[in-house]
Structure 1
Amino acid sequence: MLEAGVLETLLPGVHRLVAPNPSVLTGPGTNTYLLGDKRITVLDPGPDIPEHIAAIEAGITQLGGKLERIVTTHTHPDHSPGAAALQARYSVPVIGAEIADDGHQDLSFAPTSSVSHDECFDVDGSVLRAIYTPGHVGNHFCFLHEATGTVFTGDHIMQGSTVVIIPPAGDMADYIASLRLLLDYPLQYLAPGHGTLIATPTAEIEHLIAHRQSRENKIWAALQQVKKGDLDDLVIVAYQDVDASIHPIAKLSLWAHLLKLEKESRARQTDGQWELVA
């Protein structure tokens, strides 16, 4: 069981702290990773909760190291706000990609430098490689710790649950393409932003791709059945296997799937009403 505020060593040079922000969307809480033992990189500082920031500071002290940089996978409010507090305390670089606000972004995020695909960082003698993985949101990056074969997946992959894709910053076509991209890398573990370490990365990624395709097939069938309808009409049919209490969240992924079908010229919408392209 994951316990907030407790520093846990997962692999050589890979340590995890869980933030005290459990919820339906964050699971047991946001994972903050401390990479390295002496020259430490904090990956996803998490929410700006004083006890979590104190736990990160205590973790750096416990390791006997020095904070060198802060890196973020993306700028949702459960992943990046802690960067400002840590930067003020340690005066170290904050690295991450910005994006226009869509109502779901951390407006406090102010990186000292951006990040680009395949950019590499020296983390205590190990390579940390940035992998651009848009989909969950347009500024999302995963990071590969090459020494252990561990990919820190942020919200691209979550252990035990399906990632919510919220348009327009989220894009289902990009999300699936980004999943396929990860299969090109030598992976040993997935370290998600929420949940525990996943030791079967290829199987997990292939399962997620198949799951999204299965849901798309159900949405396609719903469009055939309803003929023409809005999100409220379609979610009842396409997500009939999901408890109705989840439908408000399911409508976001439904919308993302429909936009993917529209991009592929397989569906179209007029005034919020969706139908198949004949």
Structure 2
Amino acid sequence: MQFDRTFKALPGEVVEIRPGIRRITAPNPGPMTFTGTNSYLIGTDRLVLIDPGPQDDAHRETLLTAVGSAPLDAILVTHTHRDHSPLAKNLKVATGAPVIGAGPHVFARPFREGDASLDVAVDQDYAPDEVLAHGARLEAGGSTFEVVATPGHTANHLCFALDGAGALFSGDHVMAWSTSLIAPPDGDMSSYLESLQLLLKRQDTLYLPGHGARLNDPLSFVEALFAHRMGREAAILGALECDSLSISSLVDRMYEGLDPRLRGAAGLSVLAHLERLEALGQASKINGSDTLWRAGSVAFESRD
């Protein structure tokens, strides 16, 4: 699978993707956000904004300038991470547009001892005016959007399909530059894989993600992404069948040449796969250990 890391974005630049769709990238580049968060303005006479982005004054002013005098009918939010949703509240005050889309942040499972703190990632202040469910249709800004629920990266993650355009605003669910981080307890790997399968049943021809470049052949990319995840899972299980291993040891084996800044994210991804394998009865923690994992279920282990 080929990732596109050649994408460049200048903060404050308004880029027309096609008539009626503009992209504005926030000035928040980093190892988890690539060149920054992509906000999208859809429409001409009336507008819809998708993913307002982080709480950043410069990005706020760029968005308001791009909106200009056109009515902003809605602020749509794909999910409630702090690089996507916090500016919604501020822009609602400035424009009067309702905040619509993902529900308030929820975790995929309860916190457990040893879980990483996710306070820096989660927008707990997000307060939508309307929560949309899978299959809902929203008419706003002179366009019609179909809601595609894609839990996995977060439990409340949504994509938005633009009727008549073949375009899907894919948030952090599918991105051209990288795999999506699945970080328990915030995310869930089984849900993520099921959501990828859901997208493969659709006929969208263009993905506009929350970070990085557009995807012009999205279904082939999603197929490759699914295969990549399943290959990673098979490699983890194969390693556990040879030895009992910690997550740190699995990261060393699975991620050759890993950027040290991404080691924590890689560990969370491995944990997500391990929790999925545990739910399937294919992996478990060693009795009395919080750090070592082995192949096989607890029930199988107890019969040894």
TM-score normalized with structure 1 length: 0.94
Indicate conservation of the 8 Å contact 1:149/1:187, yes or no.
yes
Q: Map 1:89-168; keep pairs closer than 5 Å.
A: 89-95=94-100, 96-100=102-106, 102-103=118-119, 104-168=121-185
Indicate conservation of the 8 Å contact 1:172/1:260, yes or no.
yes
Q: Map 1:63-102; keep pairs closer than 5 Å.
A: 64-95=69-100, 96-100=102-106, 102=118
Indicate conservation of the 8 Å contact 2:74/2:141, yes or no.
no
More displaced 10-residue stretch of structure 1: 228-237 or 24-33:
228-237
1:262 aligned residue: 278
Q: 1:17: Cα distance to partner? A: 0.4
Q: 1:38: Cα distance to partner? A: 1.7
Distance 2:259 2:122 in 1: 28
1:173 aligned residue: 190
Indicate conservation of the 8 Å contact 2:51/2:75, yes or no.
yes
Q: Map 1:6-17; keep pairs closer than 5 Å.
A: 6-17=13-24
Number of corresponding residues: 275
2:115 aligned residue: none
Q: Which amino acid aligns with 1:18?
A: T
More displaced 10-residue stretch of structure 1: 176-185 or 268-277:
268-277
Q: Which amino acid aligns with 2:265?
A: I
Q: Which amino acid aligns with 1:74?
A: H
More displaced 10-residue stretch of structure 1: 31-40 or 229-238:
229-238
**Aligned equivalent of 1:35, options 39, 42, 55:** 42
2:293 aligned residue: 274
Residue aligned with 1:58, SS = helix
**Aligned equivalent of 1:221, options 234, 238, 255:** 238
Q: 1:234: Cα distance to partner? A: 2.2
Q: Map 1:20-59; keep pairs closer than 5 Å.
A: 20-59=27-66
Distance 1:196 1:236 in 2: 29
Q: Cα gap change, 1:46/1:244 in structure 2, threshold over 3 Å: closer, same or farther?
A: closer
Indicate conservation of the 8 Å contact 1:119/1:129, yes or no.
yes
Structure 1 residue runs without a partner (length 5+): none
Q: 1:39: Cα distance to partner? A: 1.7
Residue aligned with 1:34, SS = strand
Deviations 1:219-269 (A, max 9, x none): 1122123x2232122222233464555332210100000011111111112
Q: 1:57: Cα distance to partner? A: 0.4
1:209 aligned residue: 226
Q: Which amino acid aligns with 2:35?
A: P
Residue aligned with 1:22, SS = coil
Q: 1:12: Cα distance to partner? A: 2.7
Q: 1:157: Cα distance to partner? A: 1.1
Q: Which amino acid aligns with 2:268?
A: L
**Cα RMSD for the two superposed structures:** 1.6
Indicate conservation of the 8 Å contact 2:105/2:124, yes or no.
no
2:5 aligned residue: none
TM-score normalized with structure 2 length: 0.86
Indicate conservation of the 8 Å contact 1:153/1:193, yes or no.
yes
More displaced 10-residue stretch of structure 1: 6-15 or 71-80:
6-15
Distance 2:125 2:260 in 1: 35
Indicate conservation of the 8 Å contact 2:72/2:141, yes or no.
no
Q: Which amino acid aligns with 1:80?
A: S
Indicate conservation of the 8 Å contact 1:12/1:148, yes or no.
no
Q: 1:205: Cα distance to partner? A: 0.5
Are 2:201 and 1:196 aligned? no
Q: Looking at both structures, which has the greater relative contact order when contacts are Cα pairs under 8 Å and sequence separation is at least 6?
A: 2
Distance 2:254 2:219 in 1: 27
Indicate conservation of the 8 Å contact 1:48/1:82, yes or no.
yes
